Chains A and B, each alone.
Chain A
């Protein structure tokens, strides 16, 4: 139980295109979800907090117009990387506070921008 499902698990896109990543809480509701980014050989860095029914809050240095977050329901948050560039290539991980841990994490999305 308490599963967070993230899709897709990997995506390759061309520079200038947009990519949407979905994060779902499968058996619990999440009014808040968190999006992290992880570059190779580095730790997870929080990008933004997704709030159901209201605007996301972004960490310093994260461009809100580039990383669009929508949290339209209690079980779904999406992250859209707009006009992706090679420097956006990274491992994106979502998470949600849940019943059995402070945060339950998805399995991540490996984004490669060519």
Chain B
């Protein structure tokens, strides 16, 4: 799986957009970008994923650069409850079975939303 690089920490004011970058310069053509977050003392929560097109759901938007070497997760109106560690993970999609379906977590970005 391609390695990802994320800033260690970021702050964001409540109500403002939080933009979390991720570099994945060695991503392969069949690898997706997945974002998870982990609120303190909880299990990781899936947020969004994409291949090459921008994606949006009820939680966030994902912007992937045209060369796919980096992406940005956008929380449009951050709240205090969005304070968490955000993980960007690259992995091949559509694995039918077995241990390859696991996800490898890096260090992530600690996002702190400030009141």
Contacts and interface: CB of A to CB of B under 8 A. Distances in A.
Contact of B46 (A36, A45, A93, A101): A101
Interface residues of B, number: 23
Contact of B42 (A32, A100, A103, A107): A107
B99 interface: yes
A46 B104 contact: yes
A95 B108 contact: no
Give chain A's interface secondary structure class: strand
A108 B41 contact: yes
A27 to B, nearest CB: 15
A103 B45 contact: no
B97 interface: yes
B97 A102 contact: no
Interface string A87-112: 00001010101001111111110100
B107 to A, nearest CB: 6
B91 interface: yes
A102 B91 contact: yes
Nearest to B47: A101
B12 to A, nearest CB: 21
B102 A106 contact: no
Nearest to B101: A97
Contact of B34 (A4, A31, A100, A102): A102
B102 A108 contact: no
Interface in B41-86: 41-46, 49
B103 interface: yes
Contact of B43 (A57, A102, A106): A106
A113 to B, nearest CB: 18
A6 interface: yes
Contacts of B101: 32, 34, 97, 102-103
Interface of B: 34, 38, 41-46, 49, 87, 91, 93, 97-99, 101-108
Interface of A: 4, 6, 31-32, 34, 36, 43-46, 49, 57, 91, 93, 95, 97, 100-108, 110
Given A32-B97, A95-B43, A102-B91, 6 more contacts: A36-B105, A43-B105, A102-B49, A103-B44, A103-B46, A107-B43
